[in-house]
Amino acid sequence: MATKVFLITPPFTQLNTPYPATAYLKGFLNTKSISSHQADLGIEVILKLFSSVGLDDMFNQIIHTNTISENSKRIIALKSHYINTIDAVISFLQGHNPTLSHLICQEDFLPEASRFKQLDELDWAFGTMGTQDKAKHLATLYLEDISDLIVECIDPHFGFSRYAERLGRSASSFDELYEALHLDKTFIDNMLMLILDEKMKNLNPELVSLSVPFPGNLYSAFRIAQWIKLHYPEVKIAMGGGFPNTELRSVSDVRVFEFFDFICLDDGEAPIEHLCEYVDGKRGLDELKRTFAIVDSKLKYCNSSISPDYKQFEVGTPDYSDLLLDKYISVIEVANPMHRMWSDGRWNKLTMAHGCYWGKCTFCDISLDYIKVYEPVAAALLCDRMEEMIQQTGERGFHFVDEAAPPALMRSLALEIIRRKLTVSWWTNIRFEKSFTRDLCLLLKASGCIAISGGLEVASDRLLELIQKGVTVEQVARVCHNFTEAGIMVHAYLMYGFPSQTAQETIDSLEMVRQMFEAGVLQSAFWHQFAMTAHSPVGMYPEKFKVEKACSTGGTFANNDIVHLDKSGTDHELFSYGLKKSLFNYMHGICFDYPLQEWFEHKVPETKVDPEFILKSLSKEESLLIKPDAKVVWLGTKPVVDYFSKSKKGRQWEMAELKFFDKKGSFNLQIEKAQADWLMDFLTNAGPENKELMTFKKAKADFENCLKIDFEPFWYGKAINTLRHGDLLIL
């Protein structure tokens, strides 16, 4: 039976987990009873290449010349050792052969080339990592050595998580990519086509849809489309995904449509349903949704459909069937803790909310639908989808791929996870909102949150205001502290080179970052250089930010990244190496006492930041006042109660001792019997399993009604204060 839609992720994205776009679309197509099959051709090519047969073929392709580097000569000389070990190493990285770690860690099992020279530098960075982790890192270096050989001797475009990325990045003209597509196929291309050939024969699809999230997927997407056009000319081919959504919104080069019949923009559910209806003869080209196509020999943007987009509750649960979930490989490339999470382990991908609830940052593509159309998913539906995906994939790790997860929804999701007694681990991207109080962070931790990432960007209040980030450095520090104290890892995205940023502000920003690492409130970070994009406020109104576009004419192919001139005159490139080198050291807890000048080869200004700015920010007292509608949640267990009498000066009264047990120990409270009885009922009513959560106002009214005394002295007294250090949370 023919498949209606063949959904493809072209090489290469991630090695450890599927990119989720096709799983999202397959989940939607299921709700419409449209048959589909999906494939991540990236992992399939990697597994075919990195096998004993694949490496043998690869080595046989190499033509020996005098220009080959000493490193490549060494790998070629060790050919038999690579071929003999590769299958076992891949199996280990897939999690199927854990005992091999002992052999790998002996460091005489794997052949070693230039990548292993990093080991001396990285031993201290990785510390006393466990056998499994160390073996993963050594195996990763081994694969990277082979990759270096491939790049030098087989295919200069190769990369594990990208392929021919340079051809796709900022390609305002289609010329270079078009020329590359008319050259002979590379060894990697031919391997890809063998896999594609088999799938097309088995599936016989009517529509092939390629999701292209990154520039590093673009070349192979065109190669796939080119091959299908040649061998299956009757099959319609569409492209969607992050790259066309941002880069191809004004594509005008008709040569692109020698390869693709359609390019769809933004949310893919309605456009792909419309394409299926077009293939079935139920809809005309003009009635498509957000789709470029050739109409009457001319390129046209077809968007006359009156059908609305689907709401998030209508799109179904992402469906990961068809994908080789047990074949993905976990690698450990670098010591950065957040990058480690990206590349190690399998994560189910979900979204809490479509778009960004903030939607104001001036460097961001806030004019595009994927940012500006904000629509959250109900916590109960999210948990339903999580349970469904656990059943389907067997994996209990979730990466919520939000632009910025909303704090209120995170709270609701955490409570729903706890109510359902789901054992999961999850992480997501946030804004450093003041809403992330100590107690909310503790609740998120209790639900399985293990890490968050957020944009600190430029750690300068002037520039944060210009960015319209809606936060201050002090606020970010306090929020990072709350997450860290709760045991949740914090990763910060850092930016340099924002329009009008001075050398002084760059150095002051670095000093803020240094202090945050030294204070222990950041565990991971990464510096990015500012890039001006066409759909951001900076790109649309450069004069407001005192920058100029370097060229005014748009290209006929990709149009997103804009070369710009910063009138402030600061050469931001000069700071790149020093910022990254200092950060690498700070992430490993060293060199905090180095003068900032030591990281740079050129003269930089001295910082003007108070050397105790972050510590002072963290030491400020938080308000004890609680809003009447604040939610009160008890995450602890029911205490054991013993009653006893107490007497003093001839007066006797009833007392109670409450013994609380938590995961690590126990503690006791002694209070009057009447208060203890009320407290027992209160803790039961404040449990997360109750759909209607207890509020401070309700607790106060109930206490004063039952005991006829003021609530505040009791609430701010020793007993509640003790519980507040444990599992009693105010949200």
Strands (E), 539-634: 547-549, 561-562, 564-566, 631-634
1-42+161-307 and 351-619 have identical folds: no
pLDDT at 605 (0 to 100): 94
Q: Would you state the structure tokens that stand for residue 726, as one six-digit string?
A: 């444990």
Q: Which residue has the tokens 């299908």?
A: 228
pLDDT of residue 169: 63
Closest CA to 393 of 350, 428, 346, 351: 346
Farthest-apart Cα atoms in the chain, separation? 104
Kindly report whether the global pTM for this prediction surpasses the value 0.85.
Answer: yes
* 119-129 confidence digits (pLDDT tens): 655 554 445 55
Residue 548's pLDDT is what?
84
Closest CA to 339 of 486, 165, 491: 491
Give me the CATH topology for the region 351-619: TIM Barrel (3.20.20)
As given in the structure block, the two tokens for residue 382 are: 């999210």
**Mean pLDDT, the chain cut into blocks of 10 residues (731 residues total):** 91 91 97 97 97 97 87 96 97 94 91 84 54 88 95 90 68 89 95 97 97 93 98 98 93 96 96 97 95 95 95 95 94 74 85 93 89 93 97 95 95 96 96 95 97 92 91 94 96 92 94 96 92 88 85 72 79 91 91 95 94 93 83 93 87 91 89 93 93 92 94 92 90 92
* pLDDT at residue 128 in the model: 52
Q: Would you kindly state where each structural domain of the chain is located, as residue ranges?
A: 1-42+161-307, 351-619, 631-730
- Exposed / middle / buried, residue 619 (Cβ in 10 Å: 0-12, 13-18, 19+): exposed
CA–CA separation, 656 vs 648, rounded Å? 16
Structure tokens at 252: 């005008």
List Cβ neighbours of 629 (8 Å cut-off, separation of 6 or more).
695, 696, 697
Q: According to the model, what pLDDT value does residue 531 have?
A: 86
Q: How far apart are CA 232 and CA 425, in angstroms?
A: 44
Cβ neighbours of residue 185 closer than 8 Å, sequence gap 6 or more: 193, 223
Spatial contact of 444 and 410, defined as CB atoms under 8 Å apart: yes
The pLDDT value recorded for residue 570 is 82
Tell me, what's the pLDDT at 1? 61
Listed in sequence order, the residues at least 6 apart from 363 whose beta carbon sits closer than 8 Å to its beta carbon are: 457, 467, 495, 498, 530, 532, 533, 536, 537, 538
Spatial distance between the Cα atoms of 427 and 489, rounded to a whole number of angstroms: 9
Which of 191, 188, 82 is CA-nearest to residue 139? 82
pLDDT of residue 131: 81
Check whether domain 1-42+161-307 has CATH 3.90.470.20, yes or no: no
E strand segments, 86-186: none
